Amino acid sequence: MNKIVFLCSGGGGNLKFIDKAIESRWLPEHQIVSVITDRECAAGKYAQERGIPCECPDFSINSQHTLLDVLLFYKPNIVLTTVHRILSDRIVNEFRDCLLNLHYSLLPSFPGIPPSVSGKIGSRSVQAAINYGACLTGATVHHVNKTIDGGKPYVQIALPIHPNDTFGNLMNTVFRAGCIALFIAVNSFDRKLDERNQSMVLQILGRDALVNPGMLLPSGLWSESFWSSIK
C-alpha cells in the first residue's frame, strides 16, 4: 500500500479529488494516511470529517520541526503539496524522492514566489496568465527541490486561453486539469520515465487539453456529478 501525506492550505479540492479517487477504487493501492495544513481551513475540516488524521503545525521556515516529525512518523511513499508555503531545506532533503507539488501554470512560466513578495501562489498564476495575454495555461505536477517551483516537471497539462475567458471559467478548467495531473502522477509515481505512456489529447469542459504523459483514465472522471461532489 502506497501511503500519501497531503499538505494543504485552502479549500481542499485536490485532497477531496484524490480521496474520492481512492474511494472509487481508481487508486486501489493508495491510502491518505495524514493531512497536514498550515492553518485552520476547509481541507482540515474535510480530513476530520473523513476520519483522516490531521495536523496543523507551525510552517514558519525556521520552525518546521513538528512538520518534519509528523512526516517521519508516517513514512509516506508520496507527499503531495498544495500548501502555500516554502518547505525547509531539511524536509526537502529528507523527502526529496517523494515530494510532488501541484502548480497552476505550465512551468517554468508564472512560477510562484514567496507570498510576502505578492507571489503567484495558488490560483494567482492563472490570473497572471490572463493579465499577461498568454495563449496557453495549464497545470504542472513537479518534483520539489530547493528552488520555488523549480523542480523537474512530472506531469503537465496544457490548455488554450480563449479571448473571452474570465478568471472563473478558466480556473474551473485548470482546477480539473490539476486534479487529472495529480491522478496521473500518483498512479505512475513508481514507474521509470520510459515506462510511462506517451502524450494524449482529451477534452476538459469542452476545451482540448494536451496531457504528457497520458494514461487511460477512469470513465467516472467525465461525470459532472463526480466533480460536483468535490466542490
pLDDT in tens, 182-211: 999 999 987 765 667 789 999 999 999 999
The overall average pLDDT reported for the chain is: 92
Task: Note down the domain range covering 231.
Answer: 102-231
Last residue of a domain, one of 97, 123, 151: 97
- Asked whether the predicted pLDDT for residue 115 surpasses 80, the reply is no
Number of domains in the chain: 2
Q: Are residues 5 and 113 in the same domain?
A: no
| Confidence band for 172, pLDDT divided at 50, 70 and 90 | very high
CATH code, domain with 40: 3.40.50.170
Which positions ≥6 away from 212 have C-beta within 8 Å?
155, 156, 157, 198, 199, 200
CA atoms in the 13 A half-sphere facing the CB of 93: 3
Q: Are residues 63 and 106 in the same domain?
A: no
Last residue of a domain, one of 35, 66, 97: 97
- Distance, in Å, from the CA atom of 41 to the CA atom of 155, rounded to the nearest integer, reads 27
**φ and ψ of 66, to 5 deg:** -65, -40
pTM (2 d.p.): 0.93
- Asked whether the predicted pLDDT for residue 126 surpasses 80, the reply is yes
How much of the chain, in percent, has pLDDT values that exceed 70? 94
User: What integer is the mean pLDDT of 149-163?
Assistant: 95
Q: Are residues 213 and 124 in the same domain?
A: yes
Last residue of a domain, one of 97, 113, 140: 97
| Confidence band for 43, pLDDT divided at 50, 70 and 90 | very high
Q: Are residues 90 and 115 in the same domain?
A: no
Q: Are residues 131 and 202 in the same domain?
A: yes
